[in-house]
Amino acid sequence: MHSATLTLDPAFVVGPVRRRTFGTFVEHLGRCVYTGIYEPGHPTADADGFRGDVLELTRELGVSTVRYPGGNFVSGYRWEDGVGPVEDRPTRLDLAWHSSDPNTVGVDEFLRWSKASGTEPMMAVNLGTRGVQEALDLLEYCNVPGGSFWSDKRRANGAADPYRVKMWCLGNEMDGPWQIGHKTAEEYGRLAAETARAMRMMDPNIELVVCGSSSSAMPTFGEWERVVLSEAYEHVDHVSAHAYYWEEDGDLASFLASAVDMDHFVESVAATADAVRAAGKHTKRINISFDEWNVWYQQRAESRPPTDDDWPVAPVLLEDRYNVADAVVVGNLLISLLRNTHRVHAASLAQLVNVIAPIMTEPGGRAWRQTTFHPFALTSKHAAGEVLRVAVESPVQETTRFGDVPVLDAVATHDAETGEVVIFAVNRSVTEAVTLDVDLRGFPGLQVVEALTLANPDHTWQATADDATSVLPQVNTTAKVADDRARAELPPVSWSVVRLGRA
């Protein structure tokens, strides 16, 4: 059995735990919206047609922000199609996912769902096929109280008060050749700057996210950020980062080390943004919105859109079934996001329901939690106060993709109000358990409040509608504190949370 040590000290603070770290994403893609969050006639549906079981699970998941309506979808979206009387709304072809959208759900419906779910909306504007004026029109519709064309339209559509949407994404993945309206960094940077400047003239209180790279593997990665931020630095608040991780060729060790790549992504984007800051003699600092991240098996059949003359509404797309190893990776990626809280000020798990999602539904039937639901929900629930910079000593595991990586990865949070310290840890070893030894001399007198571990001898176990509960985070009875040292045994391929407080 391996052994690893953590040392914690209340003086070693990375930054605050940011609630926006626990955001998700709702795109008009597959069944995320239709039969996902929205299904009139479902036994749990409310008066607006929102599934009550999904709303309940969204609250349990601890979601803070929800990005909408895309994603690739937004680059061809005409938001005006989704407001006003439903019977007058046109059905449009979505080129991004080769589907049809009836526009039954649009801006007003989503923002009512956001209020019902207790989440903060994060709206994206179309800078693929559209531009400055259309972005201004949407902002006016959402945030201006009244007395203008689009704000009065909103009032006529039943929303007397402005929505006051705070966060806005300036397009989506504009570095990608797959994107409708794909642009060079120079073209997009100029358009983003012009759009941001105009939007701030209408509402100076909004926060703006400019498109960064859609992957650290993009050939333009780094240079894209440099050029775009050179154009738009003074007009935006955040730069986006997108990353998806998947197991390739049965290389479980590399897959379990995916957070190494997320750490590299954050470090690289932050360094580029700071270089632009220095070169432009700017005073403010641009931070990162990691507003698409997840495990995604892109080569599976369910990730292939329809073709030819088939343009279905809400087809089954990207409906990955996640296993225990996937949940461990998701938990580790959350550790990375917390560890980088000084630069990552928002994040969005893509997506919320059915589409590479922690929540799954049956049309007209059940909703259930995937394995990835649990580390997200527990991290969102228990991470509070400040993120601590932990000193880790761990044996390493060889990986094909990342070389030697520590088998133990961890982060800790400290809530000064309650005195609670929470440790989130993964054992990335494929075969060996790890004994975790935590030096708590900086926090004398703490005891174990709760210790939970998600693991299974079969790391390929998947939850289904019929069995979503036989593999859940279980009480880790090995977690003990003695002489200001906490110890726990962590099985291979596992994610754990250990809560420490005063008796």
The C-alpha atoms of residue 344 and residue 340 are separated, in whole angstroms, by 6
The string of DSSP codes covering 410-463 is: EEEEE-TTT--EEEEEEE--SS--EEEEEE-TTSTTEEEEEEEEE--SSTT-B-
- Alpha helices by DSSP H, listed for 293-405, are 324-339, 373-382
Closest CA to 348 of 43, 14, 32: 32
Burial class (CB in 10 A: 0-12, 13-18, 19+), 137: middle
Clarify whether 234 is annotated catalytic: no
- Any idea which residue has 């225990």 for tokens? 324
Please identify which of the residues 39, 80, 140, 173 carries the catalytic annotation.
Answer: 173
Please identify which of the residues 292, 386, 420, 489 carries the catalytic annotation.
Answer: 292
Closest CA to 377 of 388, 369, 386, 389: 369
Query: DSSP 3-state assignment of 207?
Result: strand
Nearby residues of 366 by Cβ (< 8 Å), 6 or more positions away: 53, 465
- Any idea which residue has 């605050």 for tokens? 16
Q: Are strands 359-361 and 367-369 parallel, antiparallel or unpaired?
A: antiparallel
Cis peptide before 474 (omega within 30 of 0): no
Bridge partners, residue 416, by sequence: none
Burial class (CB in 10 A: 0-12, 13-18, 19+), 469: exposed
Clarify whether 489 is annotated catalytic: no
DSSP 42: S
The C-alpha atoms of residue 380 and residue 377 are separated, in whole angstroms, by 5
- What are the b/e assignments for 57-76, b being 16+ CB within 10 Å? bbeebbbbbbbbbbbbbbbb
Nearby residues of 195 by Cβ (< 8 Å), 6 or more positions away: 125, 127, 131, 132, 135, 170
The C-alpha atoms of residue 268 and residue 80 are separated, in whole angstroms, by 38
Neighbouring C-beta atoms of residue 230, cutoff 10 Å:
16
- Mind telling me the catalytic residues? 173, 292
